[in-house]
Amino acid sequence: MFSRKFLRLKSQINISLRGIKTSEIFKKDIRSSDKPPRILITGGLGQLGTECAKLLRKNYGSENVILSDIIKPSNESLSNGPFIFADILDFKGLQKIVVNHQIDWLIHFSALLSVIGEQNVPLAVRVNIEGMHNVMELAKQYNLKIFVPSTIGAFGPDSPRNPTPNTTVQRPRTIYGVKPYTKLPMMYIDDCLNSLFQFLNVPDEMLKKRTYNVTAMSFTPEELFNELRKHIPDLEISYKPDSRQLIAESWPQVFDDSEARNDWGWSHKYDLKRLVSTMIQDVSENFVPKYQRLKEVNSYV
């Protein structure tokens, strides 16, 4: 679920999209604009943050996308573009960053996920709620465009499950288990990043709301296992569900993202078959050779 909020003080223009091919909007090279946006990514050293930075730097220039976090970055992260320390709970520090780096857009990934949050609820409340409040205040004070994603964990047992509409009750619970027939919405990371980039660049007047569901597929562990068996015939799998399985069973099974598809042309590229074949290829090319080399080294030790 994505949320984008424009806090610029400007009038809204209602236009009809009939006859307009939405896909054409994204053919424009964003780098051709006179002044690319200055972008800050909070909580940026996770998988989404680092991949998001690569995508945005490719389109807006490395120096215009600033990655931030409270943990030590790898040498690779430092070499790819600007990195700064930023604590989402330090509002004055965030103000200095926005002013000193002339930030226009803020992409907010800073959050504690379910497992860690349950272990330290007071900290989770501060990071996830107070941190979000700080981002909203920054946007209001400095006229920023902000982007805030949330996960399936934002929904709870009172939410409609199949499909889950774009606007619905949430009342979330927390961590989850797994068993063969637990069906959940999924996206490959390339689709996730593509939807993020499209959403950030949609003209404001095309958006009929500020929060959209985006999804690509829904499948169960058993369906994933069957697809994997096409590539690895002798693959075996076992399940060990626990009490937290009840939480997973309360989550949405299928997201309704028709509003994102209709309003701004969202369309995924990866279904389950393509996702599995892509992952198999990636593992074969990047991880299996390393594992084999490690075995060879160990044989001499």
Pick the catalytic residue from 60, 176, 188, 212.
176
Which amino acid appears at position 132 of this protein? M
Q: Which residue from 97, 191, 199, 189 is spatially nearest to 147, judged by alpha carbons?
A: 199
Beta-carbon contacts of 263 under 8 Å, excluding residues fewer than 6 positions away, are: 17, 202, 206, 207, 208, 209, 212
**Can 176 be counted among the known catalytic residues?**
yes
List Cβ neighbours of 51 (8 Å cut-off, separation of 6 or more).
Answer: 189, 193
Kindly list the catalytic residues.
176
